[in-house]
Amino acid sequence: MRHTLPAVSVLALMMACSPALAQEASPNIDAARMNESVRVLASDEFEGRAPASPGEEKTVAWLVEQFRAAGAEGGGPDGAFVQVAHLSRTRQDGPATVAATVAGRTISLERGPDVLVSSDRPTDHITVTDAPVVFVGYGATAPERQWDDFKDVDVRGKVIVVLVNDPDFQAPEGDPVAGKFDGNAMTFYGRWTYKFQEAGRRGAAGVLVVHETDGAGYGWSTLQNSSAAPKFDIVRADPDAERAPFQGWIQRAKAEELFTAAGLDFAALKDSARRADFNPVVLPDVTMSVDFGQIADKVETKNVIAR
């Protein structure tokens, strides 16, 4: 889900340098012009705008042209519009083996229909063997909201299973959790980005977000269609200290199957995760193994800056 640059993300930069803003007496935003910018950037001509791709080169050239037309100057050294940056890139290389063992019985999880796994670690092979599995609710530690799903439970070396979105998503009015995380307006704690990062910070062996269309805001096919695309991350000094070996998604039906095999009621645990007194639950006699190859390298990308 990180392989394209959202078209609207560049519009804030363009608005800051637009002629309309230069004319302080006219605070109006030209909706037609904004729509046209989105239409152009979202068109097939720009090929997804991914870093280190021909589409990026077209996007950079278009942005520079628009900034110049708006009367802006380059915001970099010597008036340059383009700033070079570097990213870590990982891509799938071959099949993946994902399996859970419950009391000696193996439950195979097929990459694509059942689970989606990848890694931000810049290495060519990911292997996790017989890691214990822990359900950590929504996986949120938010002291400013008096919320901590982990309760100081050590998840190092374990695979954590987390729910998508926030604890108060679709909570009925009057429920104690209602509004705790701004209601149906997803906070950063509800995003897969945060859940992946939190797993890395806590030293987990892996993290799987349980997919539900309402909570995610998109269907499984959206994830599946983008799963083979390159993944990008900043270049980190110690990626192993910040990123779990693997991260990804699991279909709710498969999560339910896994929990049932472990003697647990997924729906009941999901309900309990809405409470601030929720505690992580170890799936008894359950381990997970993951093995896949990938191509890892560093790429040069570009920022466009203007003033």
- Give 124-140 as a 3 state SS string: CEEEEEEEEEEECCCCC
pLDDT at 29: 82
pLDDT at 26: 52
**Rounded Cα distance, 186 and 298, in Å:** 32
Is the Cβ–Cβ distance between 115 and 254 less than 8 Å? yes
* Closest to 187 (Cα-Cα) out of 156, 223, 141, 219: 141
Coil, helix or strand at residue 249 = strand
* Geometric angle at alpha carbon 193, from 191 and 196, rounded to 5°: 115
- What is the pTM assigned to this prediction? 0.84
What domains appear along the chain, each with residue ranges and CATH number? 7-72 (no CATH), 89-297 (3.50.30.30)
Give pLDDT tens digits along the chain (307 positions): 444 444 444 444 444 444 444 445 455 788 998 999 999 999 999 998 989 999 999 999 999 999 999 999 999 999 999 999 999 999 999 999 999 999 999 998 999 999 999 999 999 999 999 999 999 999 999 999 999 999 999 999 999 999 999 999 999 999 999 999 999 999 999 999 999 999 999 999 999 999 999 999 999 999 999 998 999 999 999 999 999 999 999 999 999 999 999 999 999 999 999 999 999 999 999 999 999 999 999 999 999 999 9
**Rounded Cα distance, 203 and 157, in Å:** 6
Coil, helix or strand at residue 46 = helix
Q: In the structure encoding, which two tokens stand for residue 220, read together? A: 């499984």
Sign of the C-alpha dihedral computed for residues 110, 89, 49 and 19 taken in this order? positive
pLDDT at 59: 96
Sign of the C-alpha dihedral computed for residues 260, 261, 263 and 266 taken in this order? negative
Is the Cβ–Cβ distance between 229 and 49 less than 8 Å? no
* Closest to 250 (Cα-Cα) out of 133, 150, 168, 104: 133
**Rounded Cα distance, 192 and 290, in Å:** 19
What is the distance, to the nearest Å, from the Cα of residue 262 to the centroid of all Cα atoms in its chain? 28
Is the Cβ–Cβ distance between 35 and 283 less than 8 Å? no
**Rounded Cα distance, 77 and 147, in Å:** 45
**Rounded Cα distance, 302 and 58, in Å:** 11
**Rounded Cα distance, 16 and 20, in Å:** 9
**Rounded Cα distance, 150 and 148, in Å:** 6
For the chain, give the number of residues. Answer: 307
**Rounded Cα distance, 272 and 269, in Å:** 5
pLDDT at 27: 58
Could you tell me the CA-to-CA distances from 255 to 99, 130, 150, 230 in Å, in that order? 12, 17, 19, 26
